[in-house]
Amino acid sequence: MPRFREWCLGEAPETDDFWKDWAGSDPVRKEVLEHAREITRSFQDKIQPVSEAYIFEKVSLAISAARDGDGISPPRAKSIRWIPFVKTAASVLLVVALGWGAYLYYDRKVPVSAETSSLPAAAVADPQLITIQNTGSQLRHVHLSDGSSVILQPGSRIRFSEIFPAGKREVHLSGEAFFEVVKNKKAPFYVLANETITKVVGTSFRIKAKPGVPLLEVNVKSGTVVVFKDKMKAGYDVSAYPGDRVTVLNKNENAVFELSGAELLPQPELHNMPARLSIEKLGFVYESTPLADVFAELEAAYGVTIKYNSEQLAGCSLTAELSDEPLFTKIKWIAAILEAEYTITDNEIIINGKPCQ
């Protein structure tokens, strides 16, 4: 079998035909190889060596899981058991990439379950609006039906459909929240706040829109958002609005908008706002990081509690780039790497994994 790592790193161009033939027209294999190549290149000096046969075996397992779903429980199950991708605690980043390729494929086939008790257990054909308010003094994590994450600040409130209708995902915000939106070009994500509309496809950003305050604050961590002001009406076609009524913000850009006038204009003197939440500063990139430190960072960023057997997982470390994906996607990745089971109740996550060798 041709050398897989060398091919990912561009050091074995003579094997291009082999891997092209191996992927063929199979969308699963193509996506697995693409993610493996991207992440392997970004961590090429940090990957601990494993045998080519071992890698090939894990590729086969990942593809098998993606096709038949044997590694995942039914959508509403509270405990998800993933097929073993790797025995150790993620020191082989290449296998993480392969597992992620399979997860992406399978995730498109199975709807994401509402795993927090903040949401009703039963889905309905006619979406029902859910209102969640953070009445406490700590951050509150809310898991939406599409898999997106919302980190709700104290005193803030969101309202959304229990199940998003086809083609549009809409959330009403009063207060301040950080969003990590699952990418879906066929269903744009809208945040409605103080008679403004913020449109995204898949990105992470913070919005502050307090009732009675004629200001809208938007801070984009990744991706692109479009902000515009208009009456709340069905359908938000940005192309129908004049260019001077639309503001586009890209990665690491932010703005404060004055809402008292007829137009929505950013205040340039307030463009450089400091990050308010810890999650805005975190890249979730780990290199041989003890698992306890990873969990502690996730707890602080999302306002959740993660319970696990610290003695059993004491020897586990993580080398991976978890980026700006929603919290439950990050947990699924870690569970896959650890061959672990996990359960979620309210804002508590319980992980049961095997000791790392």
- On whether residue 117 sits in a domain, the answer given is no
Instruction: Tell me: do 166 and 202 sit in the same domain.
Output: yes
Residue range of the domain that includes 238: 129-278
Count of beta carbons in the 10 Å neighbourhood of residue 229: 20
Q: Check whether 272 has a pLDDT greater than 70.
A: no
Instruction: Tell me: do 273 and 285 sit in the same domain.
Output: no
pLDDT in tens, 56-66: 555 555 445 44
- CATH assignment at residue 203: 2.60.120.1440
- On whether residue 116 sits in a domain, the answer given is no
Among candidate residues 230, 254, 278, the one where a domain is terminated:
278
- Position of tokens 């450089």? 272
Q: Check whether 332 has a pLDDT greater than 80.
A: yes
Instruction: Tell me: do 231 and 319 sit in the same domain.
Output: no
Instruction: Tell me: do 15 and 101 sit in the same domain.
Output: yes
- On whether residue 114 sits in a domain, the answer given is no
- CATH assignment at residue 340: 3.55.50.30
The encoded tokens of residue 248 equal 């586009």
Count of beta carbons in the 10 Å neighbourhood of residue 61: 19
pLDDT in tens, 121-165: 333 334 578 999 999 998 999 999 898 999 999 999 999 998 898
The residues pairing with 191 across neighbouring beta strands, listed in sequence order, are 171, 198
Among candidate residues 278, 311, 329, the one where a domain is terminated:
278
Looking at per-residue confidence, does 300 or 339 come out higher? 300
> What is the average pLDDT across 277-295?
86
Are the C-beta atoms of residues 42 and 286 closer than 8 Å to each other?
no
Instruction: Tell me: do 101 and 12 sit in the same domain.
Output: yes
- On whether residue 262 sits in a domain, the answer given is yes
- On whether residue 263 sits in a domain, the answer given is yes
Q: How many domains in the chain?
A: 3
- 279/219 Cα distance (integer angstroms): 12
- On whether residue 28 sits in a domain, the answer given is yes
Instruction: Tell me: do 190 and 273 sit in the same domain.
Output: yes
Among candidate residues 215, 246, 278, the one where a domain is terminated:
278
Q: What confidence tier does 231 reach under pLDDT thresholds 50, 70, 90? A: low
Instruction: Tell me: do 151 and 70 sit in the same domain.
Output: no
H/E stretch holding 41? helix 27-42
For residue 287, report the phi and psi dihedrals to the nearest 5 degrees: -130, 105
- On whether residue 115 sits in a domain, the answer given is no
| Confidence at residue 8, expressed as pLDDT on a 0 to 100 scale | 76
Instruction: Tell me: do 137 and 254 sit in the same domain.
Output: yes
Instruction: Tell me: do 243 and 290 sit in the same domain.
Output: no
pLDDT in tens, 167-215: 889 999 999 999 999 888 888 899 999 888 888 877 899 999 988 888 8
For residue 82, report the phi and psi dihedrals to the nearest 5 degrees: -100, 150
Instruction: Tell me: do 274 and 297 sit in the same domain.
Output: no
Instruction: Tell me: do 248 and 304 sit in the same domain.
Output: no
Give me the percent of the chain exceeding a pLDDT of 70: 62
Exposed / middle / buried, residue 213 (Cβ in 10 Å: 0-12, 13-18, 19+): exposed
| Confidence at residue 1, expressed as pLDDT on a 0 to 100 scale | 44
Instruction: Tell me: do 250 and 166 sit in the same domain.
Output: yes
